[in-house]
Amino acid sequence: MANLRRPRPAAGGLGRRRSLTARAGAGALVRLLLDRFGDLATDLWTDEDTVEVRIDGTRNVELLTVLRDDAELDFFYLADAAAVDYGPGVRFEVVYHLYSDKHPAWLRVRANVDRDDPHIPSITSLWEGAMFHEREMYDMMGIIFDGNRDLRRIYMSPDYRSFPQRRDFLLPDDAADSSAAGVNPLERPETWDLTRVSEELAPGVIDRAEGQS
């Protein structure tokens, strides 16, 4: 088995710093996006391997269609469609990640969605595989995708009435504080059947249980 007691060798500091320069070719993508979508995009940002575009949610289909069909951009693969909740009163965000053979960076499209009336056009007409992503975003966050033919819950039961991944849906801090704590008889010592406990095999259990109950 692994020798778990061997001390870990020191790495000498915090590890090597990441090289933060964008890879060659991502600059071309950034320039291309600026040319094409100067009016559409509200923000543009790049890191070592990702270029990020922020748009308003209502124009996502427009932007993604051009990104997919244009020969120079050619972002043919939808890698991920995710939803982010920034809190009650702030906004939702639907984030798409796209891949292209011609550019060495992932393209991230962040679309703003109003939190109080969360509607955004569906992209299932562009990629059929977005269907399950959108169903999951609806199930977990409550974002409505207009034009989605099958917008129903996918993870929770069909009669579930909350949206679990919103920021105002809180998990209990401690299992003992949850509304279901102590339901299990094993969690309540007064219900233990002490006739089955042997002092030899489990010393101290009877004393502790009787002390508690």
Partner 1 sequence: MTGDVTIPDPLELERAEEARLRVAAGLQPAERVRSEYAGFESVGLPDRPPQTDREREVYTLAEGEMLVNMGPQHPSTHGVMRLVVKVRGEVVTDIDPVLGYLHRGIEKLCENATYTTVMTYVDPMDYLASMHNEHAPAIAFEKLYGIEAPRRAEYIRALVVELNRVFSHSLMMGFLALDMGGITPILYGFINRDEIVDMLSAISGQRMLFNFFRVGGVNFDANDEFFSRLGTWRSHVAKNVEMSERVITDNEIFRARTIGMGVLSGKDAISLGVSGPNLRASGVPFDVRKAHPYSIYPELEFKAITQPAGDSHARYLQRIAEIKQSIHLIDQIVDKMPHGPVQAQVPGIIRPKPGRAYAAVESPRGLYSVYAISDGGPNPYRFRMRDPSFVSLQAIPKLMPGHLIADTMAVMASFDPVMGGVDK
Partner 2 sequence: MEEGGPEVAVEKATRRPPRAPAKAATKKPARATAKATARPKSRAASSVLAPGQESAPPVATAAPPIIVPDQASDELLREFGMEEHPQGGFHGLLEVIPTRADIVLDLIRANSLWPLLSGLSCCAIEMMSTATSKNDIDRFGMFPFRASPRQADVLIVAGTLTTKMAGPLVRLWEQMPEPKWCVAMGTCTTSGGRFKRSYSVVQGVDRVMPVDVYVPGCPPRPEGLIHGMMRLQELVKQRRGEWPTFVDRGPQRVAWEGDVR
Instruction: Catalog residues that contact partner 1 under the rule CB under 8 A.
Output: 1-4, 6, 8-18, 20, 47-50, 52, 76-80, 82, 84-85, 95, 97, 99, 101, 104, 106, 108, 127-133, 136, 140, 149-158, 164-165, 169, 171
Residue 151 binds which entry of partner 2, partner 1, none, CB below 5-8 Å type-dependent: partner 1
Q: What is the DSSP string of 85-149?
A: E--TTS-EEEEEEEE-SS-SSEEEEEEEE-SSS-EEE--TTT-TTHHHHHHHHHHHH--EEET-T
Q: Measured between alpha carbons, how far is 183 from 167 in angstroms, rounded to an integer?
A: 27
Query: Residue 196 binds which entry of partner 2, partner 1, none, with Cβ cut-offs from 5 to 8 Å by kind?
Result: partner 2
Residue 204 interacts with partner 2 (CB under 8 A): yes or no: no
Asked if 175 is part of the footprint of partner 2 (rule: CB under 8 A), the reply reads: yes
The type of residue at 197 is V
Site stretch for partner 2 (CB under 8 A), options 43-51, 120-128, 142-150, 197-205: 197-205
Handedness of CA 174, 180, 186, 192 (dihedral sign): positive
Judged by beta carbon distances under 5 to 8 A according to partner kind, the member of partner 2, partner 1, none in contact with residue 179 is: none
**Rounded Cα–Cα distance for residues 36 and 66 (Å):** 9
Residue 65 touching partner 2 (CB under 8 A): no
What phi and psi values does residue 93 have, to the nearest 5 degrees? -145, 135
Residue 3 binds partner 2 (CB under 8 A):
no
Return the residue of 101, 117, 190, 200 that touches partner 2, per CB under 8 A.
200
Query: Quick one: which of 171, 179, 190, 211 contacts partner 2 (CB under 8 A)?
Result: 171
- Give the whole-angstrom CA distance, residue 22 versus residue 46: 7
Cβ–Cβ under 8 Å, residues 91 and 114: yes
Q: Does 156 bind partner 2 (CB under 8 A)?
A: yes
Applying CB under 8 A, the residues found at the interface with partner 2 are 155-157, 164, 169, 171-173, 175, 178, 180, 183-186, 195-201
